[in-house]
């Protein structure tokens, strides 16, 4: 197995302290948003054998296993991260596989450079993802019941919100959500800025249920995403709880430290809370206007001590081990590739002792035994 040296991505929304505290190092004063573990070409992990993407490309069957290569091609199919949100991320959705393939092909045919800020599809893959909280974690996910959003908006008593309130009380619900989101994203900028300011001033007087929107309005003044965020369920995860996000589900992370795993893609369509490009027609084509509860997960324990976060995705499988003093070693040899990440204590993968925040890549089929104490997350593919 290979000990990994991983890149920290300094996105502006990142916490300045959460990742340094986990790693036991001094903060730099700069935001540290994500620690990437994997073979994504944007920031591949480094190994003693070279960058992990190059290691995989040199012998994909040896590193990934024949079955993984047959199903997903000669690339590590998942990207593993530690995510530390100190400020809200953009409100966003991800395409399904068919949409990603079609969108990528269309933009390639149009000759739009991959680095163009107005490009939507960086690759031809989908990006389902799972976030598991390491600390209390606050976010928004999926459309709530439109009638509940209507009541939330109505309590603000802002005249310019009343047309949205009326629409949200109409049926069918899916059409109402589509019409409201379309209206928000296509409203005249000055008019929307006034609406956001009035809504934020009213929300500041109404208690905790409105606190996220007050914060969003402070961080993104005049942004239509502030009002769009009110359409979504608020989610507050406790440590160990997780949330799965499928294609077309609008979401935003607000605050907290977590372990995140996703299909190995960088395709994002933004709805707001960002200065970046928002392609409204393409966004509306990808969003699934289906109200419902977020897909929250708690780990399911097995006799081996592995606690699995069960998702409907084959490109990744996330589990964790919480090992007490004196626990017997556990065989975790797998037919596919693995990345093992310690988040507490000093667990051992084979002969490698891992401190919090440290990780290893384990090639397919390599005999691996887990020992020591602490908490370790295991990322692999579905067998």
Catalytic residues: 270
Tell the burial category of 365 from Cβ atoms under 10 Å away from its Cβ (0-12, 13-18, 19+).
middle
Q: Which of 383, 382, 244 is nearest to 316 (CA)?
A: 382
Rounded Cα distance between 262 and 264, Å, is: 6
Q: Which of 295, 281, 269, 343 is nearest to 18 (CA)?
A: 343
| 218 close to 210: Cβ distance less than 8 angstroms | no
Interhelix angle for 189-203 vs 211-219, to 10°? 140
Query: Angle at Cα 177 formed by Cα 292 and Cα 161, nearest 5°?
Result: 120
Tokens of 210: 């409105």
Rounded Cα distance between 296 and 222, Å, is: 31
| 3 close to 23: Cβ distance less than 8 angstroms | no
Rounded Cα distance between 285 and 272, Å, is: 16
Tell the burial category of 382 from Cβ atoms under 10 Å away from its Cβ (0-12, 13-18, 19+).
middle
DSSP H/E element including 263: strand 251-263
CA atoms within 13 A on the CB side of 202: 17
Location of structure tokens 């914060």: 215
């Amino acid at each position: 197995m290979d000990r990994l040296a991983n890149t920290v991505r300094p996105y502006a929304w990142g916490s300045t302290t959460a990742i340094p505290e986990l790693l036991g190092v001094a903060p730099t004063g700069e935001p540290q948003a994500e620690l990437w573990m994997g073979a994504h070409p944007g920031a591949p992990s480094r190994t003693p054998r070279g960058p992990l993407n190059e290691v995989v490309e040199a012998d994909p069957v040896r590193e990934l296993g024949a079955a993984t290569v047959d199903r997903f091609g000669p690339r590590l199919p998942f990207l593993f991260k530690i995510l530390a949100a100190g400020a809200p991320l953009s409100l966003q959705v991800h395409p399904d596989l068919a949409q990603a393939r079609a969108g990528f092909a269309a933009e390639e045919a149009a000759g739009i450079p991959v680095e163009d800020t107005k490009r939507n599809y960086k690759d031809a893959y989908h990006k389902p993802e799972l976030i598991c909280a390491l600390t209390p974690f606050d976010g928004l996910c999926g459309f709530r019941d439109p009638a509940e959003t209507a009541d939330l908006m109505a309590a603000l008593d802002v005249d310019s919100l009343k047309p949205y309130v009326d629409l949200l009380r109409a049926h069918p619900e899916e059409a109402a959500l589509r019409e409201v989101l379309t209206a928000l994203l296509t409203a005249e900028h000055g008019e929307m800025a006034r609406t956001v300011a009035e809504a934020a001033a009213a929300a500041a007087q109404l208690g905790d249920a409105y606190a996220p929107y007050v914060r969003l309005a402070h961080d993104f003044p005049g942004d239509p995403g502030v009002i769009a965020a009110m359409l979504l369920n608020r989610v507050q995860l406790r440590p160990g709880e997780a949330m799965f996000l499928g294609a077309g589900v609008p979401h935003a992370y607000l605050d907290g430290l977590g372990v995140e795993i996703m299909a190995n893609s960088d395709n994002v369509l933004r709805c707001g809370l960002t200065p970046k490009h928002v392609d409204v027609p393409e966004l509306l084509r990808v969003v699934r206007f289906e109200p419902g509860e977020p897909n929250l997960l708690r780990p399911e324990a097995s006799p081996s001590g592995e606690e699995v976060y069960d998702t409907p995705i084959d490109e990744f499988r996330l589990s964790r081990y919480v090992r007490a003093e004196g626990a017997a070693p556990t065989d975790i040899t797998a037919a596919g590739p693995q990345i093992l990440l310690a988040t507490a204590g000093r667990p051992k993968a084979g002969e490698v002792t891992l401190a919090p925040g440290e990780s290893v890549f384990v090639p397919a089929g390599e005999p691996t035994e887990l020992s020591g104490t602490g908490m370790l997350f295991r990322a692999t593919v579905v067998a």
